[in-house]
Amino acid sequence: MTEPATTTSTAPSPTSPSRLRWALLVGSVLLQSGASAFSKQAGLSSAQADSLVWVVINPWYGASLVAMGLQAVFWVLTLRAFRLSVAYPLTSVVFVLHVFWAWMIFDESIGAGNVLGLCLIVAGVALVGRETGEDALKVEP
């Protein structure tokens, strides 16, 4: 009696090292953009503050500091997984998020120059992002 053949899946699992690396990079970008949005809100909510103490104890400022601290951890882990020449240009996506938050949360107007600039950034990220194979993940000692 022969044993049934086993099949192996070639699709990466949701917890594969490659997906974790990309999750770290995306997390770093989201935390960086979030920290900027929190800082903007801190500035707006403390604009009428009478003392520096209110600026320091402002919860939005605290949220910004926490997001920046977490982003630093995510970034270090990202750099362990990606070459700097790949990881750093991909963080340019943060500019797209900044403009999105400005429009969505802070009701700022977005002009044609903003849209054109974002298109150029996305095109550049796409060019860099084409190097998503094993070469992008090699970290040389």
Helices (H), 1-141: 17-45, 52-57, 59-81, 84-90, 93-104, 112-129, 134-137
At 24-38, the pLDDT tens digits run 999 999 999 999 999
Rg (alpha carbons) of the chain, rounded to whole number: 20
pLDDT computed for residue 138 by the predictor: 56
Round to whole Å and give the CA distance between 1 and 20. 42
Kindly report the pTM of this predicted structure: 0.76
d(CA 133, CA 17): 13
Report how far residue 129's alpha carbon sits from residue 121's, in angstroms, rounded to the nearest whole number. Answer: 12
pLDDT of residue 11: 46
Query: Shortest CA distance to 39 belongs to which of 118, 98, 115, 117?
Result: 98
Mean pLDDT of all residues in 97-102? 94
Report d(CA 130, CA 128) in Å as an integer. Answer: 5
According to the model, what pLDDT value does residue 115 have? 94
- Give long-range contacts, CB 8 A cutoff, 24+ apart: 95-100: 95/121, 96/121, 96/122, 97/29, 97/30, 97/33, 98/33, 98/36, 98/37
**Residue written as token pair 């107007």:** 109
Residues in Cβ contact with 30 at an 8 Å cutoff, skipping those fewer than 6 apart: 97
Q: In the chain, what percentage of residues exceed pLDDT 90?
A: 48
More confident residue, 7 or 107: 107
Confidence of residue 2 (pLDDT cuts 50, 70, 90): low
Q: Residue written as tokens 């503050």?
A: 49
Mean pLDDT of 103-107: 94
